[in-house]
A and B are shown apart, each in its own frame.
Chain A
Amino acid sequence: MEEYVGALWHRLITDVADKRYPSEAVSLEQISKIAGILFRSWGGDSGLAVKSATATRHGAKRSLLQRIAGSNMKTELTWLDGETLNLPAIIDLFPQRDLNRDLYLWLIALAATHSEPALPWIQRNQRATQDVLERFPGLACRYQRLADAVLDMRPRPERLPHGEREQEEAIRAALLNPGSVERLPPARRPPQPVYLWLHPDPPASEPASGKSNDPQDHNAGDNIIKKEKDRRYQAERVDMPDSKDSFMMSFRAESILSWAEYIKVNRPTEEDDPPDDRPAEDLDRLSVAQDGKTAASRLKFDLDLPSAASDDRPLGDGILLPEWHYKKQLLQPAHCRLQPMLARGAEPLPLPAHLSATARRLRSQFAALTPSKVWLRGQFDGSELDLDACVQFSADRMGGLQAREQGLYKSHQYHDRDLACLLLADLSLSTDSYISDHERVIDVIRDTLFLFSEALSATGDRFALYGFSSLRRENIRFHILKEFERKYNDEIRGRIAAIKPGFYTRMGAAIRHASQLLVKQAATQKLLLILTDGKPNDLDQYEGRYGVEDTRVAIHEARQMGLRPFCVTIDEKGSNYLPHLFGISGYVVIRKPAELPRELPLLYAQLTR
């Protein structure tokens, strides 16, 4: 009962204290695609991802009701950092939906124009506002509407104490006439958040730096709860405490509050049921220690490289490859070592029985693509007369019909498919996750490789199959499944059957090596198919933007060599980053992973038609 009344009271008081309009809300999810396009077209960095921001503490005065309700301590504002454009997850400030949407667009325009970080907050935002209004005159009336609405929401200056009053007046003037206010008068507290401007003091994001040792692949493991919203929190990285002291000894019991405050004590690391995330949403700062021994990781996989005896057979000493560093904008020569490997103990196998029916059908479909000589009729030139056309023509002429220009020859055309295709499959640990009750991603990839090979061997197109995974830059494992010169037979099928998931996805190096292999082929058309289930990532700095940019450069190099890279992914979020890597027409997202084995050969037929 108490709980019920409490909840009721909470709802009531927060509703009264904060005037929000949930029914008119616009969420970032609804407009995220538009947001990305607008941000880029208005001059924003095309490498940035659009994400929802965490609420940050604003420190401004709250009304009595808000204090009673315990609300309005934090607010979601917009800011940019090296990797993301952070926008509020939901805007429901205004009673009209259009206005809420306009605020999103305005914030995007401001963030895309935002350039002079050296200026004080108030000047910076006024300058940006002026720039936006000058560049996009069509936004002026929207700005006017938004500014009017925001001014209505702000506290009246005459009701504020001295100091805050001047501050509020300055902000009002700056909103009404951008560029008119030089500085923000000092006051005891920060002013009320200005929703039309960017964050006054953007939280510094921890760069995804090389010191990360997180053993848990971000998309690995089937027992990880998929979070719909991947919000960003202000994070601090702390070292996992080494001391064995239990906190009971050194801290008072009140300190155990702490989802919030980080205390350096020895914490038990048990993996219980998925934690309740709600407390996390109320926090400013999450402290994340790098533990390195989650139970799941202990149970599921061993991250050290396997012993030489049980590992696949390496071929040669490895190949040194460069890697792109996007912050330095330079290609670091010989930065990665790629190790070609051959599966150990792969027995020759026939095609798995469950695929044989599909394989048979594909083979007959693809046989139609086989290069063959055909007679083309009705040609203007050709080695022989097209008798049918000649008879028709003479008959028409004798019958008094106007002789019209028409082809009277047959020509013998060789429908040449001068084509080489290299398929590069991602074998990282993330492919170990289950997509249905009885199939993992890796099983789907294995079936795909089988069917793809069956179909292509029916056409006579030259093809090769490789797989890759990585563990930091010195260990990029490049599994040889089928080389161009080898025939597709039971031995190859055995190698395909032996693929297993492991490690991470350092895509750039694998693509570079695959490009080198493919470019040596004599065919005029060279297709580089990349089959993956997620973003490039690795243990060191190869995650987030670094990995994406390196992959992008590798793709670009492949294009320069005259190859055609094409990505097939089952990552539902692929559309967020793949256009940046492959261009708008260089990738396809397969929504139902189970369909991949049948889809890929058809896609191939379409691509090479």
Chain B
Amino acid sequence: MRSLDLDLIHSFTKMPHMTDLPFYKPHGNELELFEHAFLRQLPLLIKGPTGCGKTRFVSYMAEKIGLPLYTVSCHDDLTASDLVGRHLIGDGVTYWNDGPLTRAVREGGICYLDEVVEARKDTTVVLHPLSDDRRILPIERTGEILSAPPEFMLVVSYNPGYQNFLKGMKPSTRQRFVSLRFDFPKPELEQQIVMGETGADTMLAKKLVNLANSLRTLKEHDLEEAASTRLLVYTATLILSGFDPVDACRAALVEPLTDDEETAEALMEIVYASFGK
């Protein structure tokens, strides 16, 4: 594959060259895919378990390309007008207020819809024309039809692990996106991430990553969700700030994963096996 010229990308952008990038360690070709998708104006879907770096990846790419990032965390009451905008009532007048999606389309930028499956169904009405080759955003209320500039990019993410019975992504929506699967990084890489993120030494990072991988094997059988990289970072942060390692693991790794006392006791045994008792 042809390597991309970053200048070409920057020619799209209004911002000067990147300043301080957020910390991100790539674990595959995701940087390249993002850049290609951006250049060719394709929308991107990122799927992966919670806390594996989806949001961080998007903000890193936004910073790297030099685009403003509009992040919307979707929830089950999020409607289309929360994305597009609505009329607000002022002193005797009403005025139109752009939603984050409209703002991103107008100004150019990355609109990132986190956990998109959580949003109400009527949001698909806005997302569909924007995510295929039309790239338009019709605003019913004002009668406008915005067409997206080249520097607009739609990125959505969801966690396929949540077996949310009531919500899933419709195939017709899913097939409008270029898709990227994230998983927890390989042990060596995850160590570097923990070290880069917190300043932990190799020993501690290795211990934590091994511990996390032990816990991850319990997913679906004993635990609903696997221990995320984010939890590891929290744990390392607590330890480095001087908190007792075992207690830090209990607070930041074990208790967030389970409510069941016996399971927590077993998880603590796994912690003791790594950190000693």
Q: Do these two chains interact?
A: yes
B270 interfacial by beta-carbon distance below 8 Å = yes
CA distance A433 to B28 in the complex (A): 57
**CB closest chain-A residue, reference B90:** A403
Q: Does A241 contact B (CB under 8 A)?
A: no
Residues B215 and A41 in contact, CB atoms below 8 Å apart: yes
With contact pairs A34-B262, A105-B269, A403-B90 given, residues A40 and B217 touching in the complex (Cβ less than 8 Å): yes
Chain A residues whose C-beta falls within 8 Å of the C-beta of B218 in the assembled complex: 37, 40-41
Is the pair A138, B89 in contact by a Cβ cutoff of 8 Å? no
A residues less than 8 Å from B267 (CB atoms):
37, 41
Pairwise interchain contact B165-A138, C-beta atoms closer than 8 A = no
Known: A37-B266, A137-B274, A559-B163. A46 touches B221 (CB 8 A): yes
Flag whether B133 is at the interface (Cβ < 8 A). Answer: no
Decide if A42 touches B214 in the complex (CB within 8 Å).
yes
Q: How far is the CB of A479 from chain B (nearest CB, A)?
A: 27
CB closest chain-A residue, reference B223: A584
A580 within 8 A of B: yes
Is residue B272 within 8 Å, beta carbon to beta carbon, of the partner chain? yes
**Are A580's CB and B89's CB within 8 A?**
no
Q: Measured between alpha carbons, how far is A135 from B213 in the docked complex, in Å?
A: 12
A584 to B222, CA, bound (A): 6
- For the complex formed, measure the closest distance between the CB of A272 and the CB atoms of chain B, giving whole angstroms: 41
Measured between beta carbons, the chain A residues less than 8 angstroms from B82 are 380
Chain A residues with Cβ under 8 A from B266's Cβ?
A: 33-34, 37-38, 41
Q: Is the CB of A141 within 8 A of B79?
A: no
Q: Which of B86, B89, B163, B217 contacts A41 (CB 8 A)?
A: B217
Chain A residues near B275 (CB-CB < 8 A): 138
Total A-B contacts with CB atoms under 8 angstroms apart = 95
Nearest CB to that of A564 among chain B residues?
A: B165
Partner of A46, one of B89, B165, B217, B262: B217
Complex interface bits, A133-165 against B, C-beta within 8 A gives 1, otherwise 0? 001111111100000000000000000000000
Residue of B nearest to A407 (CB): B86
Contacts of A527 in B (CB 8 A): 165
Residue of B nearest to A108 (CB): B269
User: Would you call A583 and B220 a contact (CB within 8 A)?
Assistant: yes
**Which A residues touch B272, using CB under 8 A?**
138-139
B277 within 8 A of A: yes
A450 CB within 8 Å of chain B: no
Q: Tell me the complex Cα distance, A205–B192, Å.
A: 46
Nearest A residue to B267 by beta-carbon distance?
A: A37
Are B221 and A38 interface neighbours, CB within 8 A? Answer: no
Q: Which residues 81-140 in B have Cβ within 8 Å of A in the complex?
A: 81-82, 86, 88-91
On whether the beta carbons of B270 and A41 are closer than 8 Å, the reply is yes
Interface status of A109 (Cβ within 8 A of chain B): yes
Is B269 within 8 A of A38, CB to CB? yes
A138 lies within 8 A of B274 (CB): yes
CB distance from B235 to the nearest CB of A (A): 15
Check: A525 CB closer than 8 A to any chain B CB.
yes
Q: Is A393 touching B262 in the complex (CB atoms < 8 A)?
A: no
One digit per residue, 1 when the CB lies within 8 angstroms of any chain A CB and 0 when it does not, for chain B 235-270 equals 000000000000000000000000000110111011
CB–CB B273/A109 < 8 A: yes
**A142 touching B210 in the complex, CB below 8 Å, given contacts A37-B263, A583-B221:** no
B48 within 8 A of A: no
Residue of chain A at shortest CB distance from B265: A34
For B277, the chain A residues whose CB sits under 8 A away are 138, 141-142
Q: Are A138 and B276 in contact (CB under 8 A)?
A: yes
| Minimum Cβ distance to chain B for residue A42 (Å) | 6
Contacts known (A41-B215, A381-B79, A381-B81); A580 close to B86, Cβ less than 8 A: no
Q: Which residues of A contact B91 (CB under 8 A)?
A: 397, 403
Collect the chain B residues with CB atoms within 8 Å of residue A380's CB: 79, 81-82, 86
A138 cross-chain contacts in B, Cβ below 8 A: 271-277
Q: How far is the CB of A504 from chain B (nearest CB, A)?
A: 26
Looking across the interface, which residue of chain B has its beta carbon closest to that of A405?
A: B88
Q: Give chain A residues whose Cβ lies under 8 Å from the Cβ of B163.
A: 559, 564, 583, 585
A408 at the B interface (CB under 8 A): yes
Considering the complex, give the chain B residue whose CB is closest to the CB of A581. Answer: B221
Interface residues of A in 456-486 (CB under 8 A from B): none
B32 at the interface (CB under 8 A from A): no
Q: Is the CB of B165 within 8 A of A585?
A: no
CA distance A137 to B272 in the complex (A): 9
* Alpha-carbon distance between A483 and B220 when the two chains are bound, in angstroms: 32
Residues of B within 8 A of A397 (CB): 91
Residue pair A40, B89 in contact (C-beta under 8 Å): no
The reply to whether A137 and B217 contact each other, CB–CB distance below 8 Å, is no
Q: How far is the CB of A389 from chain B (nearest CB, A)?
A: 11
Could you write out 25 A-B pairs with CB less than 8 Å apart?
Answer: A34-B266, A38-B269, A40-B221, A41-B214, A41-B217, A42-B273, A109-B273, A136-B273, A136-B274, A137-B207, A137-B274, A138-B272, A138-B277, A141-B277, A380-B86, A381-B79, A393-B89, A397-B91, A525-B166, A579-B221, A583-B163, A583-B220, A583-B224, A584-B221, A584-B223
9 closest A-B pairs (Cβ-Cβ)? A37-B266, A136-B273, A138-B276, A34-B266, A564-B165, A41-B214, A138-B273, A583-B220, A138-B274
